[in-house]
């Protein structure tokens, strides 16, 4: 993207909505979780039927973040699999997520032939427990109808 296009994007973003300083402060408290989809071509797992599979051991223990929580095979005649994983924007990012998916594949007897694609999504917008206290001051300052939340 050229510098002029970046300027236009920034200019448009500032025109989308007029926000007060209080609202800017509110929006700065919103956090999201990283959610990854990783697509891999795998040899040695042809026997697996089409379906959606969960990795229970990675769903129940928060310390296993980055490992795949689910895997899907879409077509019987394909060796393309889709993996779902959570990251944390700090040290559990794309490459770590890929490495952990490959480790899981190896533990099931598979071998990655090709990395196809990975996408990161920011989902579940929320406010931390520390940030929640901001809402009482926001309510008292911004709402014409006090104590409505």
Domains recognised in the chain with CATH numbers: 33-123 (3.30.70.1990)
Mean of the per-residue pLDDT values for the chain?
82
- The strands making up 51-54's β-sheet, listed across from edge to edge, are 51-54, 68-73, 80-87, 30-43, 111-127
Average pLDDT over residues 45-72: 94
Q: Which residue has the higher pLDDT, 65 or 147?
A: 65
User: Does the pLDDT value for residue 22 go beyond 90?
Assistant: no
| Cα 136 to Cα 147: distance, rounded to the nearest angstrom | 9
pLDDT band at 84 (very low <50, low <70, confident <90, very high): very high
pTM of the full predicted structure?
0.71
User: Which residues on neighbouring strands pair with residue 83, listed in sequence order?
Assistant: 38, 71
| Cα 39 to Cα 111: distance, rounded to the nearest angstrom | 13
CA nearest 86: which of 121, 39, 46, 51? 121
Is residue 80 packed enough to be buried (19+ CB in 10 Å), middle (13-18) or exposed (0-12)?
Answer: middle
pLDDT band at 21 (very low <50, low <70, confident <90, very high): confident
């Amino acid at each position: 993207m050229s510098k002029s296009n970046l300027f236009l994007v920034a200019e448009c973003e500032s025109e989308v909505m007029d926000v007060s300083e209080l609202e800017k402060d509110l929006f700065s408290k919103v956090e999201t979780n990283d959610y990854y989809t990783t697509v891999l071509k795998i040899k040695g797992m042809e026997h697996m039927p089409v379906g959606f599979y969960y990795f229970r051991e990675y769903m129940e223990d928060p310390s296993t973040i980055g490992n795949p929580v689910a895997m899907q095979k879409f077509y019987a005649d394909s060796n393309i699999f889709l993996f779902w994983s959570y990251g944390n924007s700090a040290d559990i990012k794309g490459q770590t997520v890929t490495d952990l998916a490959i480790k899981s594949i190896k533990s099931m007897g598979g071998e990655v032939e090709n990395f196809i694609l990975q996408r990161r999504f920011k989902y579940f917008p929320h406010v931390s427990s520390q940030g929640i206290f901001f809402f009482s001051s926001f309510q008292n300052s911004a709402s014409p109808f006090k104590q409505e939340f």
